[in-house]
């Protein structure tokens, strides 16, 4: 990480900066303290040239608008936004834990845990889609698991806003995507085939990405890989990933079918909603995968402490 813009003790409005947490393409994130409410928070800022980049500023504004419109235990919560001395900032809940990417680096994820995480991701996506929003960049780096086991979906900087989604500016004329039609949006290996072809994405595109994440959680390998991004896209568009049980550990046949259906290349052949995927995963659990699963549609655990959006 390069020299951070803010130092310990600096203030952004009522927020006292404690320490840097990380930096990424969208800016820097700091652990801070809300002096009004007496709680730790995560503060995200645009820094340096990023602060004057129209596209990055647009993404930053879009992310805050999108997250502010959502209130769900499986979506990272936004507390506040502001600007001080030319520094735009957003204040998020502070989570303690790790991303799914980090979780997988420490060893295989038990099947029951993978199913549990899948159900929680579905719950978060169902809330997102109900607002007319498509995430478009769901991947292990953008899914956080708190120390209590609660899943949080992060980083809505590439989200697509539908007719029911929140507008970006006064007047409501900008419920739109961040890119022009025909441009690729997402991450190679996780984006849906229609995204890879530059076509419009919808909720079923996120379901494909969910399938790719589940496949990796269960097998320890990415569903689609190649030596170059172009090779990865070609694999995604033309090849079916190997059966999980053939390349990794045995998994219940019903679970394999759920993942396969998420990964259908045709949107019409996939599950048509995140709730449908959740019910499919729940059925697998009830058929024999022992796990303290959260029931689809119910949330009873407390919100935990630490994470940030868009730092990868």
Q: pLDDT for 20-73, tens place per residue?
A: 988 776 689 999 999 999 999 999 998 665 556 677 777 788 888 888 889 999
DSSP state for residue 286 in the 8-state scheme: H
What's the pLDDT at 49? 57
Q: Is the CA virtual torsion 166, 296, 283, 223 positive or negative?
A: positive
What is the chain's Cα-based Rg? 19
Dist. CA 143–CA 117, nearest whole Å: 9
276, two tokens: 């449908």
Annotate 55-73 with DSSP letters as a single string: HHHHHHHHHHHHHHT---T
| Domain locations along the chain | 11-93, 98-286
Selecting among 34, 137, 206, 276, the annotated active-site residue is 137
What's the pLDDT at 167? 38
Give Cβ neighbours of residue 271 (< 8 Å, ≥ 6 apart).
Answer: 204, 207, 261, 262, 277, 280
Long-range contacts of 293-299 (CB under 8 A, 24+ apart): 293/112, 293/115, 293/116, 293/119, 294/116, 294/119, 294/120, 294/123, 296/119, 296/122, 296/123, 297/123, 299/72, 299/73, 299/74, 299/123
What's the pLDDT at 27? 80
CA 190 to chain centre: 11
* Per CATH, domain 11-93 is 3.40.50.2300: no
Beta-strand relationship, 143-146 and 133-134: unpaired
What's the pLDDT at 103? 93
Q: List the CATH code of the domain at 98-286.
A: 1.10.510.10
Listed as ranges, residues in the chain with pLDDT below 70 are 1-2, 25-26, 47-53, 162-185, 288-312
What's the pLDDT at 299? 33
Dist. CA 30–CA 22, nearest whole Å: 7
Interval 216-232: pLDDT, tens:
999 999 999 998 999 99
Catalytic status, residue 116 = no
């Amino acid at each position: 990480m390069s020299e951070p813009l803010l130092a310990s003790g600096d203030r952004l409005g009522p927020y006292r900066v404690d320490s840097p947490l990380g930096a990424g393409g969208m800016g820097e994130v700091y652990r801070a303290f809300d002096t009004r409410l007496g709680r730790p928070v995560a503060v995200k800022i645009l820094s340096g040239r990023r602060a004057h980049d129209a596209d990055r500023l647009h993404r930053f504004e879009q992310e805050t608008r999108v997250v502010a419109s959502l209130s769900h235990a499986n979506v990272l919560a936004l507390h506040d936004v502001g600007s001080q001395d030319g520094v735009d900032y957003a204040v998020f809940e502070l989570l303690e834990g790790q991303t799914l990417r980090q979780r997988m680096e420490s060893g295989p994820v038990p099947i029951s845990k993978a199913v549990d995480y899948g159900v929680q991701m579905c719950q978060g996506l169902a809330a997102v889609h109900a607002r007319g929003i498509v995430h478009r960049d769901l991947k292990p780096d953008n899914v956080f698991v708190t120390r209590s086991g609660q899943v949080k979906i992060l980083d809505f900087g590439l989200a697509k806003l539908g007719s029911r989604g929140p507008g970006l500016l006064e007047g409501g004329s900008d419920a739109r995507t961040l890119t022009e039609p025909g441009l690729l949006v997402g991450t190679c290996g996780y984006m849906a085939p229609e995204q890879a072809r530059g076509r419009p994405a919808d909720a079923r595109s996120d379901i494909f990405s969910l399938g790719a994440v589940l496949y990796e959680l269960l097998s320890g390998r990415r569903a689609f890989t190649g030596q170059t991004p172009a090779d990865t896209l070609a694999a995604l568009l033309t090849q079916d990933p190997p059966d999980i049980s053939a390349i990794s550990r045995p998994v219940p046949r019903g679970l394999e079918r759920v993942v396969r259906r998420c990964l259908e290349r045709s949107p019409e052949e996939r599950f048509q909603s995140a709730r449908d995927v959740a019910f499919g995963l729940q059925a697998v659990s009830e058929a024999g995968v022992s796990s303290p699963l959260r029931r689809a549609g119910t949330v009873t655990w407390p919100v935990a402490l630490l994470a940030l959006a868009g730092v990868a």
